[in-house]
Structure 1
Amino acid sequence: MQMQGRPSPEALKRELKTLSVTPNEMIRFIAAPVLKRRGLLVFNLAILIFLAFLNFMVPQFTKTIIDTAIADKNLTELWQQVILMLATTALIGVVGFASAYMMQKLSQEAITEVRLDTYNKLLKQDYAYFQETKTGDLMVRLTSDIGNLQALISSDTFEIVSSIVTFFGVLGFLFWENWQLALMVTLTFPILFVNIRFFRGRMRQAFSDVRANSSKISNQLQSTLTEIELIKNYTTEDFETDKFDRIVSQGNRYQLIATKWQAIFSPIITFINTGATAIVLWFGGYLVIKNQMTVGDLVAYLSYLVMLQDPVRRISRLINMFQTALVSYDRVEQVMRSREMIAENKAAVPFPARLSDKIAIKNLTFYYQDSKLPALDDISMDVLAGQTTALVGRSGSGKSTLIKLLTRMYDVSGGDICYDGTSIKDLQLKSLRQNIAVVSQDVAIVDGTIADNIRYGSFSATNAQVERAMQMANIADFIHTLPDGLETQVGERGVKLSGGQKQRLSIARAILKDAPIIILDEATAALDNESERLIQRALDNLMVGRTSIVIAHRLSTVYKAEKIIVINAGKIAETGTHDDLLAHNGIYKTLYDMQFD
């Protein structure tokens, strides 16, 4: 997966044309968390103005030393001015440190608020939102795109504000001192600005290509190292080396292009800056010879010239930064604008303390987005409290879709689902999901310890409760053999655990949740016979005294269910007990015979 922080100039231009946001909207968005910290903001601006004043004063000391102390051969004045200049420079360092630190503090606090708000908004999106949006794209929005927004409230941006204040202050002072010389110098600024914009765009494109190629190299390395067994078995070492060579060679070409533009850029900008210096020396020297300007004035003028050139470079960088941030803001705002389709009723009530009657599914119909055919078509059934109901059928028949509807990951297209007579749309979402525990074939493992995974969602559980859940899930003996016990790291996606161990961890997690409704979605489908036996005993412990809904391809795991419902092509085809359905000689009997012949 390639994740780039900044688009190329060409991509940036295309995206800027299709933006659904305006610069004013972005400025208001960024300003909101900053203005909440007015004290820090005012303090930072005051420091920047003070810093600009100190920088302005340094050339004045040089002017006084040359025109007064040296001209009058006054050693006392010389020492005083040198000490004042050194003290001012030291103060600039101290104030600069305070400025950088406090501006970074303001930036971090503001952008952390933006990132947390975006993250929280993202997590509250509907399940369907994540099915339709690429994970990599969402990660880029939360990292690189918000990072681009942070650049607008970073110390660099505030220093640009300081530079602009310095620029106009110094420029005004120079025009007041000698308007002819100031006018000649300013003629070089448009040339400097245009060249910076021209070369920066091309260098950014080249370095963007280098970063993209670096992502390709990383992806290739990851792919190769994670599939080393496949490479060895099929003896494709030379093939993979050739592929890697092509990627690296392309990266070398991009790097040379970037170096070329950089090598051209530096001397041209140096020449333009030197040209401005030459103008000052030529005309200023002429004025000195004519006694219309002192040598100290001329030296100070050269120092001020540097102060004028720096803001031009910074403003050019700010324009690039602003355009990039605008594209990133549009992408972040798309998340913030997203509205959950599954909205909680304002008068929603908590889930019943214990399910005492049944889950009633009434004439339920469901269409996936952009689908013309229903995934479930006019389904009606009752799941009685305290009993086990099994759902069986061929792959794609709609079983897992029904589970997503029961937990309200999706809303029904027609009909209703009622828990003890209360419509699912009238139940508080959080309360509904807290009262349903789902154990699926695809076990979700968080990167952390075994304890983190068992306690996930039940963070206040005691050690005794965790131990009981481990025992009931038939995983306690395995955990106790580990050197670090519950504190054992499971690795990313649980790579240090077998499939059966991960499954039993998820069962322990469900037991600790102590929900009255249990949903088992192909919980033993991918396991060997021995693991299945261990897990089936754990599942039996989990289902005791609870309302259970079991989806299974292996019919040997559902024959004990009080009710078995066969779903075929989105409709209920058969209902009954195991013996009834075998005697019926229908779809269930066909599936059973296929598995046990």
Structure 2
Amino acid sequence: MKFVTPYRWRFVVVIVLTVVLGVLAPTRPFLIQYTLDNDVANGDYAGMVNMMWILLGLLVFQSIAQYIHTYISGWLGQQVIRDIRAKLYEHIISLRLTFFDKTPIGRLVTRTISDVETLADVFSEGLAAMVGDLLQIVFILGFMFYQDWRLALLSLSTIPLLLISTYVFKEKIKVAFNDVRNAVANLNTFVQEHITGMNVVQIFGSEKIEFEKFKEINEEHKQANLRSVLYYSIYYPVAEIIAAAGIGLLVWYGAKGIINFEQTGLTTGKLVAFIMYIQMFFRPIRMIADRYNTLQMGIVSSSRIMNLLDATEHVQENGEIKPTQIQGAVRFEHVWFAYNEANYVLKDINLDIQPGETVAIVGATGAGKSSIINLLNRFYEINRGSIQVDGIDIKAYELGSLRKNIGVVLQDVFLFSDTIFNNITLDHPEVTEDMVWHAADLVGARKFIDRLPGKLGYNVMERGSTLSVGQRQLISFIRAMVYDPRILILDEATSSVDSETEEMIQQAIGKMMKDRTSIVIAHRLSTIQKADKIIVLDHGEIKEIGRHEDLLLQEGYYAQLHRMQYKEFV
């Protein structure tokens, strides 16, 4: 209802039309009864014709009202769904990376697409239609008891059976639909993960094994849907039999009453009207059961969506400082960090990096190198200590301004299925083509871009599949440099390229690092020998700090790493 508020007047129109349609439906049997008992019984042809025109006009008016009601309900539903989906996506992109570490992507896709689409059905045909059916039942009951309370009670004698069967159906179908939604989420997760990792599947020849897993999940999805089909196939015939029994009782009793008219006062028109009433009465009850399922699916989807919206693992945006340009001094003071509180990845880290200084971080896999740059960008929050940029705690900076001043190049370059220009600018309007070409010249990438058809307009396809590893890396360099950041972070940026490409990239890196504070994470020690300071990490602790030559003389962790790599190359 919060999302409906901006469209409250259209919602009011839907409610008014719902009431009007609820009143109009039982009016027709009443008018037909009047025609049969008065105009037809008395041979009043003119009166009968007039009533036919009234009924025709009523039908036309009801059809127009129904059209407006259906259209506005659908329009309202789509507006609300658009707003919910936008709010949901806005919320998702504000969450910290810890949330994505433990949440399957396919499940998030299901929440954003399938579950939100289910809510659309609730708004367009579930809630308003259900209220309309309830109103129609109330008005029909009013007309029936007003006409003849005896016929009304007889007509409703089979209702308890219908209500019991409806309740049982409702409970069964609720469980079935919940199973269907879970099965859909599992399918989405499996397909998304395995298509993304298709190269791993094919490299290890696991196509048949993965296909068998998919068949199992697909079978679960089928069985969940079949259970709902089974409940429908049982409920509707039962409801039809109960409705037919009610009409049969009504016809039997009504026929006797017409024969004994002088004692009962029952007319043919009244009997016909009651047959129409009972048919109209049973239809919305059956529809309510069906729409209740739509509503139930909406409740399940709504619960999932609201749980996601209630997730509090988002970056706290309390900072207000928006520097146009920083100096680039970085300081870690007694920083402790753990992805889960049981195991600390970084333990009492103290770093002091001066503006324009080049610092390299080395260590074995899992030593905590990448965690340091994740914390500096506030992808994760530290457990203890403080991180400062230019002497100011990073939490005091406005998050967008902080990240704009830190250029990051990762080992695994992610490119969207879009043009090179849009992959570099990420659609930021303040980034011009001149800025992109300037950054391309800076890293030496203009030459290869000029050779591509369309140049900056070249579509790199999904994950940059039409480019080489080196070309993708150069584009990531341009993306990092286009804002002219004062702090540059290179996370193993040359580890997955060949020697010839590495030489080209090293030249680009040399240009990028000039007059900038640079933090370099590298496995290949040959690439960081000229660093002003080398920090050696081991199991989350700083073991050594110094220049390349000094660390070799200490015969410690760094010297051991150096000897191991030297043996590899020898």
Check whether the contact 1:193–1:313 (CA below 8 A) recurs between aligned residues: no
Is the 1:458–1:512 contact (alpha carbons within 8 Å) kept by the matching residues of 2?
A: no
Code of the residue aligned with 1:339 in structure 2: it is: T
The answer for the alignment partner of 2:236 in structure 1 is: 266
CA distance in 2, matches of 1:453, 1:118: 24
Q: Which residues of 2 match residues 288-303 of structure 1 at below 5 A? A: 288-291=258-261, 292-303=265-276
Partner SS, residue 396 of structure 1: coil
Query: 1:256-291, CA deviations, whole angstroms, 9 ceiling, x for partnerless residues?
Result: 766555443332221111111112212222222233
CA deviation digits over 1:109-151, x for unaligned, max 9?
A: 2333333333323322333233233333333333344445455
> Equivalent of 1:491, from 461, 484, 502?
461
What CA RMSD, in Å, does the superposition of the two structures yield over aligned residues? 3.4
Partner-residue secondary structure (3-state), 1:33: coil
| Match of residue 69 from structure 2 | 99
Deviations 1:194-236 (A, max 9, x none): 2233345546666776787788888579959985997699697
Kindly state the Cα deviation for residue 322 of structure 1 after the two structures are TM-superposed: 4.9
2:306 alignment partner in structure 1 = 333
- The residue that corresponds to 2:254 in the other structure is 284
State, as a whole percentage, how many aligned pairs show the same letter: 32
2:283 counterpart (304, 307, 310): 310
**Corresponding residue for residue 355 of structure 1:** 327
Number of residue pairs the alignment of both structures matches: 563
- Structure 2 residue 477 is matched with structure 1 residue 507: yes
Note if 1:367 corresponds to 2:338: yes
Structure 2: distance between partners of 1:294 and 1:55:
22
Written as runs of structure 1 = structure 2, the 5 A alignment for 1:133-172 is 133-172=103-142
Q: Aligned partners of 2:222 and 2:321: how far apart in 1? A: 63
Q: Does 1:560 pair with 2:522?
A: no
Quick one: structure 1 residues 544 and 32, their matched pair in 2 at CA, closer, same or farther if it must change by over 3 Å?
Answer: same
Q: Give runs of aligned pairs for residues 443-462 of structure 1, distance below 5 A.
A: 443-456=413-426, 458-462=428-432
2:25 counterpart SS class: helix
Conserved in 2, the CA contact under 8 Å of 1:61 and 1:82? no
**What residue number does 1:183 align with?**
153
Q: What is the TM-score with the length of structure 1 in the denominator? A: 0.84
Structure 1 residue 445: Cα displacement: 2.1
C-alpha distance after superposition, 1:347-373 (max 9, x if no partner)? x433472316x212223332332224x
1:457 touches 1:513 (CA, 8 Å); kept in 2?
no
Does the Cα contact within 8 Å between 2:107 and 2:186 map onto a contact in 1? Answer: no
Match of 1:397 among 367, 376, 384: 367
Whichever residue aligns with residue 353 of structure 1, its letter is: Q
Residue type at the aligned position of 1:122: I
1:325 CA drift (Å): 4.2
Over 3 Å counting, the alpha-carbon distance change for 1:406 and 1:248 in structure 2 is closer
Query: Measured at CA, do residues 42 and 310 of structure 1 come closer, stay the same or move farther in structure 2, by a change above 3 Å?
Result: same
CA deviation vs aligned residue, 1:94-119 (integer Å, no higher than 9, x gap): 22111111112222223333333333
**Counterparts in 2 of 1:377-526, with a 5 A limit?**
377-456=347-426, 458-526=428-496
**Distance of aligned partners of 1:159 and 1:221 in 2 relative to their CA distance in 1, 3 Å threshold:** closer
1:79 aligns with 2:54: no
Q: How far apart are the structure 1 equivalents of 2:316 and 2:141? A: 58
Check conservation: 2:410, 2:493, Cα contact below 8 A: yes
How many angstroms apart in 2 are the aligned matches of 1:164 and 1:262?
Answer: 21
The Cα offsets for residues 426-477 of structure 1, whole Å up to 9 and x where unpaired, read as: 3332321121111111223233222211111643222222222333344434
Per-residue CA deviations over 1:493-548 (Å, capped at 9, x if unaligned) read 33333322222221111111221111111111122223322322332232222211
Do the aligned residues in 1 keep the contact of 2:22 with 2:139 (CA within 8 Å)?
no
Moved more, 269-278 or 79-88: 79-88
- Structure 1: gaps of 5 or more residues: 1-30
Deviations 1:40-71 (A, max 9, x none): 12111111222223323322343344334433
Gap runs ≥5 in structure 2: none
Mapped partners of 1:396, 1:225: distance in 2: 24
Write the distance in 1 (CA, Å) between the matches of 2:161 and 2:388: 73
Q: What letter matches 1:104 in structure 2?
A: G
TM-score by length of 2: 0.87
Quick one: distance in 1 between partners of 2:71 and 2:121? 15
Say which is worse superposed, 288-297 or 203-212, in terms of deviation.
203-212
- Matches of 1:397 and 1:307, distance apart in 2: 73
Q: Which amino acid aligns with 2:326?
A: R
What does residue 21 of structure 1 align with? none
Distance 1:159 1:253, change over 3 A: closer
The reply to whether residue 51 of structure 1 matches residue 21 of structure 2 is yes
Displacement of 1:309 in angstroms is 1.2
Q: Which moved more, 1:272-281 or 1:419-428?
A: 419-428
In structure 2, distance between residues paired with 1:563 and 1:317: 70
Give the match's secondary structure for 1:59. helix
